[in-house]
Chains A and B, each alone.
Chain A
Amino acid sequence: MKMVLAGAPPSDTDRERTLLRRARTGDPAAFRWLFERHAAGVWRFLKDLLRDEAAADEATQETFVRAHARLGALRDEDRLGAWLLGIARHVYLESLRHRGTHVDMDDEVHGSQVEAVLPTPTPEDLLLDRELEGLLAGALGTLREDRRAALLLRIDHGLPYEEISAVMGWSLQKVKNEIHRARLQLREHLAAHVGGHS
């Protein structure tokens, strides 16, 4: 099973497994290595969900405090990345509850076909400059939270659909449908804001 976090190349997988074992025996240097390998991805995920850098800082620390406390209970050494992102999302949802924010989680999407035909322009010229980065952030922000989380777990954090299904608690088909719809929304938003491409 492939699972690649941004900043965590797969060639490091064996090393991660070794260091995870050491971290579980209480080796602080090994935990530090794991933190440094995954913290940026966790922070980015939380920033995308919370849309607030300071809040993402706090939530990232809380995620790793919890991970550290429960590291010994993680049985599948190859799922550390998904496990951390699952904790991060839990921390995020808890923070919403503390702020009294309601998240609509009930908008189940039905549909069996995932079609590739998209009414959008081609993206060849859309290099990621600062302006587009802002547009991208804005487009991501228009997505419903759970749909945004699922999309980012895939396109930013490289989780396989099965892992996303586990993190989100969705069926595999729902994961595919939600990510597909998120992509369409993202493209529509970007296409509407990029002149001369439609």
Chain B
Amino acid sequence: MSACRETELDALLADELSPEDTARVRAHAQACPACQHALSWLRAERGWMAQRARRMPARPALDFAALESRLRKPVVPTAPKVSWMHWGKMLTAALASVAFVGITTLQVTRLPSADEPWTRNDALTTATWAVDWCDDPSREAVAALEARVGACLVASPLITLR
């Protein structure tokens, strides 16, 4: 190995290397003081993190009972809510003109109209329409993760965090 690579040492400790790479990195590290030095830090890091995890304080958020009341039934992506009054208007219009119905239905299918009572919370509750609200500093990261797991991460009303 021409260079000492900490990432490889890290992967060695995490048992993430192929058998060939494991043998190669291990052989190099045994003969390389710099890599042994780095390994000692990497091991220490792992030890500290494990100890820290074991010392987790008892927090109210870790009690499932505290969460239970906030859980709703799983949200199945659906079309946006359209009020009965709105449908009533549409039906009235339908009686007047079949062509008008066609156009109106198309519009409703595409987007909720501007006069519907859409709030930010409504938009977030209905995941299908939450895409615009994914716009924040983490947009790229979230988009990448969402693409990877095939799910929108924004799915519940915003809450004010302290």
Interface residues of chain A, those whose CB is within 8 Å of chain B, are 2, 6-7, 24, 26, 28, 31-32, 35-36, 39-41, 43-44, 52-62, 64-66, 68-76, 79, 82-83, 86-87, 89-91, 93-99, 103, 105, 113-118, 120, 122-124, 126, 128, 132-133, 136, 154-156, 158, 160-161, 165-170, 176, 179-180, 183, 186-187
Contact = CB atoms under 8 A, between A and B. Distances in A.
Contact of A169 (B35, B60, B138, B152): B138
B19 interface: no
Given A75-B150, A166-B144, A61 B52 contact: no
B149 A75 contact: yes
A75 to B, nearest CB: 4
Residue in B41, B46, B140, B158 with the greatest tally of chain A CB atoms within 10 Å: B41
Contacts of B101: none
A90 B161 contact: no
Interface stretch (B71-79, B86-94, B104-112): B71-79
Chain B contact patch, size range: 35 or more
Contacts of A69: 72, 74-75, 127, 155-156
Given A65-B70, A115-B6, A166-B145, A122 B37 contact: yes
A158 B10 CA distance: 11
B56 A61 contact: no
Interface in B31-65: 34-35, 37-38, 40-41, 44-53, 55-57, 59-62, 64
Given A70-B153, A122-B40, A176-B7, 6 more contacts: A44-B53, A69-B155, A79-B149, A115-B5, A116-B4, A133-B55
Nearest to A26: B74
Given A35-B64, A128-B48, A166-B144, A114 B151 contact: no
A167 B141 contact: yes
Interface in B20-38: 34-35, 37-38
A56 B156 contact: no
Contacts of B155: 66, 69-70
B85 interface: no
A22 B56 CA distance: 28
20 contacts: A26-B74, A40-B56, A62-B159, A69-B156, A70-B75, A72-B76, A73-B149, A74-B151, A82-B145, A89-B138, A96-B137, A98-B161, A116-B5, A128-B48, A155-B45, A155-B49, A156-B53, A167-B141, A167-B145, A183-B45
Contacts of A120: 37, 41
Residue in B11, B50, B56, B57 with the greatest tally of chain A CB atoms within 10 Å: B56
Contacts of A136: 48, 52
